[in-house]
Structure formats: structure tokens, C-alpha cells
Amino acid sequence: MRGFLASSIGVTCAAALALPLTPPALAASARPAPATEAARPALPAGSPAMNPADRRAAEPYAAGSTQSLPLEPLTRTRATPSTEQGLSRRAVRHFSLVGVIWDDPDAELHGRVRVRTRAAGTGTWSGWQDLETHNADHAADPGTPERASGRVRGATAPLWVGDSNGVELRVSSESGRGAAGSRARTSDTRTLRAALPLPSGLRLELVDPGEADATSLGVGGPRAADARNAESSALAEASAANSDLAPLGATGIAALSRAGTEQEYRAFNAGKLTEQQRQAKPYIGPRPGIVTRRGWGANEGLRESGLRYTKKVKAAFVHHTASGNNYRCSQVPSLIRGIYRYHVKSMGWRDIGYNFLIDKCGKIYEGRAGGVAKPVLGAHTLGFNSNSMGIAVLGSYGTKKPSKSAVKAIARLTAWKLGLYRVNPKGKTHLKSAGSNLYRKGKKVRLNVISGHRDGFKTECPGRKLYGKLGSARSKAARYQGR
């Protein structure tokens, strides 16, 4: 078996010639994007008419696209000009995931973001749903090229709403709401609470994840041909990163027996083990099955080209995506494509932030490109992305318990991946902070090998209920390793 970190240039070049742009099973469904001013489809009876500005904001449209709508002031007084913004109820193109972004990634949205959506199939409007506003803790580390690209924006967490074609949004300043009509008296002095302004450049992002690998790259012309070549190269690059574990173009990496995993471990650590370590039985869990990026239909042309690595994997940070629990496991590839597009096109990241994602049925998915066995540098835990990996459980787990299948999948994944790097999942480790709201830059922090996001950053993530299951995940992972 070749070394896992050996150069993949030859493999990548060969893969670029061998891999079709679209998986065979989906080739028939891939379609070109319509022209920019394509005819607008008929809307359900009773839908509010779209004015020209709305229509321009919603076009051009293609499967796998984002509508970006600027918010409008909802308060008209000069005293509080920017404490409430939003969008009135309106018809829009199909989308399945929503989020709100703003210009400055370092600005915080102190307030509440609520959205209502209309189901495309039934025309029924949902109740108001909250978007998680404190999302800056999921990001690349300060000072890194990804963070300093000039493309990064502030954002809420995305929310999965399913196939929808109507939306209404309200964004309110928390202090502004408290100030409205609320006055405190101290002796004869009347004090009005100051209203914090909302961040500038607020926009509603409506994401259609599209079909797997169906993009606008099928449009004819020289520029489209260049785009197809670029995506083909990126597709080969992502696939070649896993070539030690699965054939090129594979949609999944098969689960491996314990004996096979131990053989994989020795190949991975060739030249790093002492004679005694080579003879000893390794502490590593059997490799679990993993759906590759090709398996969930990643459009490799979206992400920044090239792969970025850290030195090793000493810790695993567990997250929740805060994207809601109203998804079926059959919808997860679409959900991940939506999060991927939101991270890259809306938030300005180089790729999806997490190294792995896990659904409530316990299925494991490859996240950021670079190879599931390799130390891929993610953007998941601000201040602690180096020498770690980020695992996101799809859903919101502040008040809802994670499924047993999801917790088991965390244990299986960490038992294998941490085992490759000879790390005990029940142990402690030290990581150097790159700067967070809990630890100053340069501080060496002692952490659990399997930590929650909140252990490295002051945040609610991964939710109280999921955080409470990490002890169980550590114990299970250690048992899977044979400890």
C-alpha cells in the first residue's frame, strides 16, 4: 500500500482523464442553466406577484444556485433606522436552505432572525422559525489565507426548510426590541435603552442544492469549456486524495474489518513506528463506511482549488450544524450540498468547513476535500483548526437528544481516525490556540481528545443534549480501539 501522504500528481492526472464530470446514474438528470432572463414559471394561485426588483434578484436561476436578496428596513423612524430589517412575504424561485449574511465577518448580529417559508408541494406556509445568529465561531483561524481572503462574510447558521418557493423574513436588534416602548426611571431622569445597529449589508440567501453534480457548467461556449475542465480537474483531485482507500470516482469508502484496518494502520504509519510498536497490536477501531464527496454529489467546481493540510490529528471537535431536525435521511446529500454551497458561495470559505458530517441515521460523510485519512485543515473551530478535525452532526441539539445511531457513528469514526494517529479517544491533549473568545493566541490549552465545540470557544455548539453524550462517545470509541 502506498504512503497516505505520497504525491498524487500522477494519479490526479490519470483521474482527470478517467472520471466523467457527472456520475453515470445522474448524467441524464444534469441540465444546462436557462438564460439569464428565462421565462418565470407560473406561481401557485394566490401567490403575491413579484415586482421587477424581486424578479431580478431571483434570476438567473439554475438547479444548484443561490438567490441573494438585500434586506429592507422595517422601521421607519429616524431614531432607530436599522434595528429591524427583513423582507415581506413574497414568491421566489425554489430553494431548500436559508441563511442571512452580512459584510463584516467580525461584526456580530445581536438580535433575532426569524423566517417563514412556503412549501412548494402544498403551498402551505410554515410558522416562524429562528436562525442561529451566533455562528462566527465556525470559521478559519485568524491570520490564515482562508480567513484573510477578502471574501469571508458574517453569517447565521443555515436552516434546512425543504423544497420551498415563498419566504418572509424578520431581523430585529435585541436591544432595539427591548428599547421599543420600554423606559426606566431613575428619580426624575428618563433613560431609553440604546438600540444596537444591525450589521451592514444584510442579505437573505436562498440556496437550492440542485441535483448531484448538476451545474451550469453544461452551457456551451469557450468559457463553459474552461469551467468544465476546471471542475474535472478538481473532481479528480478530490477523488485521488482517497485513492489509497477506494477506487477513483468511488461514491463510498467501504467499512473495513479489524484485521484489514490494522494492516492499513501499519501502512499509514510506515517509518514512524518503533520495532516494539510494529510488533504490538495497534489500538485502532475498524474503519467505518464513509460516503465520499462524489457520493453526496459535491460540485467540485465551487470550492477553491488545491488541498490544505495540518500536521496531524490530535483532537476531534464535535459540532451540530444548527440547521434544524426536519430532514429525512434520504435528503441528506441535498442538505450537505446546501451547506457546502452556503459555506463557499455565501460565506466566502474555500470549501465546506467540517471534515466529516454525520446524519441522524448514523451515516458518515466526507466533508472538506483532501482525503478522509489525512490531516485536512478545516474551518470548524475558530482558534483550534490546526492538528484537529471537525465532526458535525446534522441537526440542532440544544433541546433534542441526538440519536443513538449518531452517537455511535461519532465513536466509530473517532476510534478509527484518531487510531491512525495513535491517539486515545478517552485521553487528554494540548493544542495551541490561534485566538478565540476563550483562549488568547499562543496559549497551550489542555482539552479532551474528543471535545465539544464549546470547549474551545464560548458557544452553545454542539448543543446541550449532544454535548452531554460526548462522555459516552469517548468510552465507546476507546472500546472500539480495544482499550
Cβ atoms of 239 and 141 within 8 Å: the answer is: no
> 434 pLDDT band (50/70/90 cuts)?
confident
> For the residues 51-76, what does the mean pLDDT come to?
67
Nearest CA to 434 out of 375, 384, 377 is that of 384
Instruction: Give me the percent of the chain exceeding a pLDDT of 90.
Output: 63
More confident residue, 202 or 214: 202
Q: What is the pLDDT of residues 347-383, one digit of tens each?
A: 999 999 999 999 999 999 999 999 999 999 999 998 8
According to the model, what pLDDT value does residue 277 have? 82
* Cα gap 473→475, rounded to integer Å: 6
> For the residues 38-51, what does the mean pLDDT come to?
40
More confident residue, 421 or 459: 421
Q: Which three cell numbers stand for residue 425?
A: 479517544
Please state which of the ranges 5-14, 63-72, 285-294, 323-332 shows the lowest mean pLDDT: 5-14
Res. 227: pLDDT tops 70 = no
Q: What is the pLDDT of residues 93-121, one digit of tens each?
A: 999 999 999 999 989 999 999 999 999 99
Q: What is the pLDDT of residues 134-163, one digit of tens each?
A: 766 667 777 788 888 889 999 999 999 999
Q: Which amino acid is at 339?
A: I
More confident residue, 177 or 317: 317
Q: CA dist 448 to 123, 317, 426, 429, 451, Å?
A: 48, 9, 7, 6, 5
Task: Please name every residue paired with 448 in a beta bridge, in sequence order, or none if there are none.
Answer: 428
Q: What is the rounded average pLDDT for all residues in the chain?
A: 83
> For the residues 38-43, what does the mean pLDDT come to?
36
Task: Of 23-27, 142-146, 231-235, 412-416, give the range with the top mean pLDDT.
Answer: 412-416
Cβ atoms of 389 and 376 within 8 Å: the answer is: yes
The torsion angles phi and psi of 21, rounded to 5 degrees, stand at -65, -35
* Cα gap 359→8, rounded to integer Å: 30
